[in-house]
Chain A
């Protein structure tokens, strides 16, 4: 039983992530009065890409070739190290917030390098924009998670998710502020509106898509899948840390199943909000993005200040 739970913890993020990307697309399609593709379309796309042949630029080096594996591998590792459906696992996973943040940075690092590697001007500019956004987002991300860590007195995400956050009303304002900060960073890190437009290949608007422009076949599948994983990682962090309802506190089958259902429900809720946001607002001009990220940073700092 324990083995099954562990395997589930490890593969949950990669297995479920394409579904939510499909879900957002579906929600957006509905809001635009379209029928839209099935929510499982992304799985089919990935399957198709995985079985295609590849073309690799002859300017590319081994960085380009290995980057998809590292980027995907990092999201896989991080996905296994955060609380998903249960805060109490058979083995001890450190789940430290700093480790999570910096592990995700490893993925960003290789993603950006692979963008530069082919020598294409799209890739280079995509990397530059990606790094700019992620550098400025880092403060907000760290501080919003830190707020919760300080309230609970631990930086271990599993311990945080097992506590009842609304036990004392004392911190409620801090938590709300930190959540707003976190949500802004979530949009930035997962490449959503108003930071990035995941649907276009228009050079002025894209960040993530331009970095993976040169990829094809298996490697493209991994890159797309990794970004889907990242989306699930961030939303489940938001779900389990800021709204830790329904997460399983033990390893009983029923509570695990309940935990999984709750998590899917919560992420679907996030996806719905993001879908609405993407249908309602336009992408921001690039130089307005830092202001938004600084807002998230400042909100989180205020949140910490309110604790003391």
Chain B
């Protein structure tokens, strides 16, 4: 049985489930209900078999590859290579897809009648299928085909809610950025092809010495831009906070949780596997990008009051954290400190997995809130915890996990990331160790700011009084949605509790890469989930953390609730508000909450405050009629990065336009001059 699963047959089964789901839901698109059930049934089927497939490959360590050759054999062959790294990413994709599909069963209902459910199911299944293709293909051309399938299907999902003008705009920006990225990727692969004469990853890998170092550096930069656009690193992130919120929530969860990770997958695949060995400055670059992305990502998240945009910015932040691990892994790798490199890679893989879990959990619970309140603006929420208590609990778990609070999973992966950075500080010499000091600093601030941001998010969504009428009619979401969220919440607890086992598995995944084949482990994990760095620098026990926290809090509750003053009376009353009637307008808003931090970081965020006051009597100016205050954070990237580029292009076009006078004589004289020049050059 296991033999059958871990072979190409198991893999085909997974892919064909998605294909059947996609085509079937197109055929059934006349009937909304059937189309929804069909598409989600098959995506659940496909992704759960995918999960089984991935886990059995990882546990047995049975990797395999196969391919079909097409006509242009040396160029395009449908080559698949399922090694440990691919299996790990298939596992992440499938795990998230299962629960997103469960969630979709209930969530998609509000699209009935207004939208084509068949098309949604079609693109949704295609997206999951192409994600799996991306992480398994081992031929550059075939990879690009899968990459494009993924980009296009996700584009259609972004613009699915097409009645909103801004969604269409967001989709367009996404499409443009994606194609810019793809162009860079294509260029890099062509450069590789020029020297190695192959598009096949394994052949490229064995011929990698043929590429001169300068070209390799260029290839590195092109890949950074190309995959960085998809991963959402700053400053190529501008599409992400617009496109992710535009898509239906279960798709946003999939995009934010999984799709941007394909960029990370390719980073690992190319830098840690194919292009080995690598120079030190690559790793330094990655670490710096990671520091900037994590710190700025969380700062921008703080300024948002659109719940999904806030979460999207947190994706940028977490990609930054993942890159901190990856970057230190690359530095250690170039310096020959292989076992530390493996440790850092494990940290980065662990955070990839954890982020997928809690970010999709957060997106799903945000989606169910939006579904009830019909707005993404957090200023119009408030007090939802009383109307949707379970969703609130799930969101709370997600928030604590993403803020790296113990005992949830986020803490353990950040702990590992911190450890690998600490190792960089202690083991390396001055100039390199400064890079790690900067990275630790940005990670520390990121942690603190993320906590602030989620206090703000949870507080203004779920706590205090409702700030709009819509909230008062909100109901707890349907069972299938709660199943989707609940299991993800459970997973973020389990991944924390069993972080030791997870780490063992991740080490196995890391060893799947040929650089780490025979590496000494730099971390040892004992039975009670205690993991300890082998040089004795740090250790932490997941289960003891759990037991301490749970028992400690239960003990306190027991003592103070049941032993001390047991017959205490509890009355309810009004909140004290200096004697006036307490209205929702008196509560702190999400903008107000973040304002002091925005002002502290005003050098980076460049906020602008505009106030307009209209007076009853313009002459006396004592009685204002209305006061409008616009507080916004300027988009630094479009102002200082994209706008200058656009202006340069516009300026060039204007200059080029001058030679287009519309005068026929001038045109012919161009031809004449060029003819003469050509004749002189050629002859």
A113 proximity list for chain B (CB < 8 A): 455, 458-459, 463
Interface pair A119/B568, CB less than 8 Å apart: no
Option from A124, A153, A156 in Cβ contact (under 8 Å) with B426: A153
Query: 0/1 per residue, A291-308, Cβ < 8 Å to B?
Result: 000000100010011001
Interface pair A218/B411, CB less than 8 Å apart: no
Interface pair B600/A287, CB less than 8 Å apart: yes
Query: 0/1 per residue, A210-231, Cβ < 8 Å to B?
Result: 0001100110001000000000
B441 proximity list for chain A (CB < 8 A): 139, 143, 297, 301
CB of B658 within 8 A of chain A? Answer: no
CB of A286 within 8 A of chain B? Answer: yes
Interface range for B: 35 or more
Known contacts: A127-B455, A135-B451, A308-B433. The answer to whether A153 contacts B418 by CB under 8 A is no
Known contacts: A73-B552, A77-B552. The answer to whether A118 contacts B575 by CB under 8 A is yes
Option from A128, A155, A287 in Cβ contact (under 8 Å) with B592: A128
CB of B644 within 8 A of chain A? Answer: no
Which residues in chain A, 264-308, are within 8 Å of chain B measured between CB atoms? 286-287, 290, 297, 301, 304-305, 308
Option from B418, B538, B599 in Cβ contact (under 8 Å) with A156: B538
Q: Measured between C-beta atoms, what is the minimum distance from B586 to chain A in Å?
A: 5
Interface pair A132/B575, CB less than 8 Å apart: no
B444 proximity list for chain A (CB < 8 A): 138-139, 142-143
CA distance A99 to B414 in the complex (A): 11
CB of A137 within 8 A of chain B? Answer: yes
B451 proximity list for chain A (CB < 8 A): 105, 108-109, 131, 134-135
A146 proximity list for chain B (CB < 8 A): 422, 425, 440
CA distance A94 to B456 in the complex (A): 32
Nearest chain B residue, comparing its CB with the CB of A217: B568
Known contacts: A53-B568, A54-B569, A102-B405. The answer to whether A301 contacts B552 by CB under 8 A is no
CA distance A218 to B562 in the complex (A): 12
Nearest chain B residue, comparing its CB with the CB of A289: B600
Interface pair A105/B445, CB less than 8 Å apart: no
The prevalent SS among residues of A at the interface is helix
A155 proximity list for chain B (CB < 8 A): 422, 537-538
CB of B173 within 8 A of chain A? Answer: no
Q: Measured between C-beta atoms, what is the minimum distance from B56 to chain A in Å?
A: 34
CB of B576 within 8 A of chain A? Answer: yes
CB of A129 within 8 A of chain B? Answer: yes
A60 proximity list for chain B (CB < 8 A): 575
B437 proximity list for chain A (CB < 8 A): 301, 304-305
Interface pair A53/B593, CB less than 8 Å apart: no
Interface pair B587/A109, CB less than 8 Å apart: no
Option from A76, A103, A116 in Cβ contact (under 8 Å) with B588: A116
Known contacts: A55-B571, A69-B557. The answer to whether A308 contacts B449 by CB under 8 A is no
Interface pair A112/B440, CB less than 8 Å apart: no
Q: Measured between C-beta atoms, what is the minimum distance from A156 to chain B in Å?
A: 7
B553 proximity list for chain A (CB < 8 A): 69-70, 73-74, 77
CB of B64 within 8 A of chain A? Answer: no
Interface pair B452/A131, CB less than 8 Å apart: yes
A136 proximity list for chain B (CB < 8 A): 445, 448, 600
Q: Measured between C-beta atoms, what is the minimum distance from B606 to chain A in Å?
A: 17
Interface pair A119/B459, CB less than 8 Å apart: no
Interface pair A287/B599, CB less than 8 Å apart: yes
Interface pair B452/A102, CB less than 8 Å apart: no
Which residues in chain B, 418-469, are within 8 Å of chain A measured between CB atoms? 418, 422, 425-426, 429-430, 433-434, 437, 440-441, 444-445, 447-449, 451-452, 454-456, 458-460, 462-465
CB of B376 within 8 A of chain A? Answer: no
- Which 9 pairs between the two chains have the least Cβ-Cβ distance? A124-B588, A138-B448, A135-B448, A73-B553, A116-B459, A119-B464, A131-B452, A77-B552, A57-B575
Chain A residues in the interface with B (C-beta under 8 A):
50-63, 69-70, 72-74, 76-77, 80-81, 94, 96, 98-99, 102-103, 105-106, 108-109, 112-113, 116-121, 123-125, 127-129, 131-132, 134-139, 142-143, 146, 149-150, 153-156, 213-214, 217-218, 222, 286-287, 290, 297, 301, 304-305, 308
Given contacts A102-B405, A135-B597, 15 further A-B contacts (CB under 8 A): A54-B568, A54-B569, A56-B573, A58-B574, A59-B464, A98-B418, A98-B538, A105-B448, A109-B400, A117-B459, A119-B586, A120-B576, A153-B536, A153-B537, A217-B568
28 contacting pairs across A/B (C-beta < 8 A): A51-B568, A53-B571, A54-B568, A56-B570, A56-B573, A58-B574, A61-B392, A70-B553, A77-B549, A77-B553, A94-B544, A98-B415, A113-B463, A116-B460, A117-B464, A119-B464, A119-B584, A123-B588, A127-B593, A128-B595, A131-B451, A131-B456, A132-B600, A135-B448, A142-B444, A143-B440, A143-B441, A153-B535
